[in-house]
Structure 1
């Protein structure tokens, strides 16, 4: 079977760190081209814009869109209208309505669209999902704290409307929670700390529940220095689970559980190729919906300016 000729639009840190190694490690893909104003991938045909790339004679079957979410809709629309399958980096768009519009267009044009949530592909996630189908969760605590200066140095878009602020990493935790819990959760209250000189939050505290009364709390903070924290702690009727390092370690009742070693992005790209071959799509907006609810329901608290 011929490899999928894949292009990347928006070449930044995440592309070099995650996308390119995952693509080159999968024989089902060939990296065909890039479209980016300022960056490229060595040895790959490079274009400045999506329009230029799509107008070229380079064969392209699918495109991974990795630019900031504020600019993703128009790029995705161009790709879909050109008959290309589309992989959307998280979050899949700046608004829920954008994503729904793209989902409908992809279905109309008969192409695959993947709203990718890489943290759902961490090795502990499906193990915990199966465990919670047999052991009802009672309380879930999410602690997601990292250093924005390390992960997003000099990236102004994250502080602008549509950039999500601390929800850029926090949505990864929400993608795990919405995947593993057996019941749909909904937000009951939120507090968002917004720096005096910025437009998106640097910290957030969220509370959720579900129809059965499960308590779900999330603590997101972008000001943590030193060791970073990506933990989810779950108490069930008869067990205690601790997902560490974003779902790459799992402890059940104090004992470490042995996990498979496949990385998040290799798993994501395997899933994308399966969707393409099966002529189907995967567009779950639950994590983004919770972020939208937090902005709508949350108390906004002005905090120290961020420099």
Structure 2
């Protein structure tokens, strides 16, 4: 999308939502124009988060699960995710048919002797040490980060929701009850020894075949899947870890992708904006805003953020 059509679209949004959000949309247009002018390689400056801001995600390592208790004494299972030396490796400007920039991130230090030479040259040109895992994220112009920027666990705020993507644990060849949750046959008298069978799989002469996609026994696991809307319960900047409520795909020490929840962050914020709510109530759960363009390690040290922070509990407007 060209800059002209993007500005027209944003102008239409301003007219629809009124003067209350005109300043926010104008900031988006200005930041977009500056990026197109070639200033995206400049150091990242602090910006104000809007519901239309698409921040970068982060590559984390799943360290295991544990239990925490809230102020009401209720026990919650949480997964510990560590942001392990997550840095920006490359920035690609948006193509002609899109307004989103691309940031390639790398995580977990890797020895040079085990790094393939093409990748080693890629890291050296970026001026960052070799990494084990690379992943690309699309961001808006107000969330672009310079190459070499290192993310901190402070990139995520206690109380916000995140989507976590990873590769599920392999279960091998499994039957229909474990793989698809079939009920199975009755275990009473008169039932043949087919308690865990899948039952009928085909039809009569017409069509005379098994329909593609039929749920049957087969290989289970090792699939890329996403768990949505996990609450960030605890953030520890000293250990660079976040605790998210619930379970995430993958084994311990596996790599996962953590990003702002599409439904309960972006869509929820846009809904609150359209309803005319105050900007401090867009996200709910006591969260007033998100670090923009990102919660970097440099920013955390410079501004003296608290080392440990917990979710304070559900707000009145959450």
Asked if TM exceeds 0.5, the reply is no
TM-score, normalised relative to structure 2: 0.28
Greater C-alpha Rg: 2
More helix by share: 1
TM-score (norm 1): 0.29
